Amino acid sequence: MSLNMLDHRSLAGQLLLAMPGIEDARFAQAVIALCVHTPDGAIGIGIGQIVPHLRLHKLMEQLDIERGVAPDAPVHLGGPVDPQRGFVLHSTEWRGEDTVTVNDTFALTSTLDVLRAIAGGIGPERFLIALGYAGWGDGQLDGEMTRHGWFSTPASPDLLFAVQPGERWPRAFAAAGIDVRLLVPTAGHA
């Protein structure tokens, strides 16, 4: 086992919150549910913004899936990578084809069986739909965590599934005991 593997602390299951002044403007006030984090890379689903003019019923129609009892939920902007690919973050009591259980709080499924289960009323109790994902290469996220870019905090079921997308960023910081009005867009130097 390499020293890098011993030093690595996985942030999977955490929320990544963009700090004010993050270098990549696409991630301003981003909230990302981190699903995978290894020394080889990381994958997360953005849950802080929705795709304008697209809701679950329209997405299901495009995929030729009967909507059944599925609520007409918003579709989140999951990230800039592969924006045509769909993901469902959901509670862990439901498992389907290729479901990845991230932790006790949430799981991730990217196959159509989860949408069919939601439409049939037998899917996960709590869920959110996203298109695209945020991805980091070998050691990239670890490097960004040491600079002024991201803050990590535990992902609670309420922050994931009960808070409106536009409120997740300030509410997640508040849950960590941080008032966003006191954050500054530059890092200090000692």
Given pLDDT bands bounded at 50, 70 and 90, which one contains residue 23? confident
The number of folded domains in the chain is 1
Residue 127 maps to a domain:
yes
Q: CA nearest 16: which of 174, 169, 184?
A: 169
Residues 6 or more apart in contact with residue 137 via CB below 8 angstroms: 41
- Rg of the chain's alpha carbons, rounded to an integer? 17
- Burial class (CB within 10 angstroms; exposed 0-12, middle 13-18, buried 19+) of 71: exposed
In a domain, 69, yes or no: yes
Distance CA 18, CA 6 (A): 26
- Compute the distance between CA of residue 155 and CA of residue 42 in angstroms, rounded to an integer: 16
pLDDT tens figures, 144-158: 888 768 999 999 999
In a domain, 188, yes or no: no
Any idea which of 22-26, 111-115, 138-142 has the lowest mean pLDDT? Answer: 22-26
Residue 132 counted as domain residue:
yes
Which of 15, 178, 10 is CA-nearest to residue 105? 15
pLDDT of res. 8: 64
- Tell me: the pLDDT tens digits for 79-132? 999 999 999 999 999 999 899 999 999 999 999 999 999 999 999 999 999 999
Strand partners, 41: 38
Task: Answer whether residue 117 is part of any domain.
Answer: yes
165 with 50: CB under 8 angstroms? Answer: yes
Rounded to whole angstroms, how far apart are CA atoms 24 and 155?
23
Question: Considering the domain boundaries, does residue 177 fall inside one?
Answer: yes
The residue range of the domain holding 156 is 3-182
Report if residue 60 sits inside a domain: yes
State mean pLDDT over 163-184. 91
Q: Is residue 190 part of a domain?
A: no
91 burial via Cβ count (<10 Å: 0-12, 13-18, 19+): middle
Strands (E), 47-149: 50-55, 74-77, 81-90, 100-101, 107-109, 127-136
Domain CATH number, residue 139:
3.40.1740.10
- In the structure encoding, which two tokens stand for residue 5, read together? 């593997």
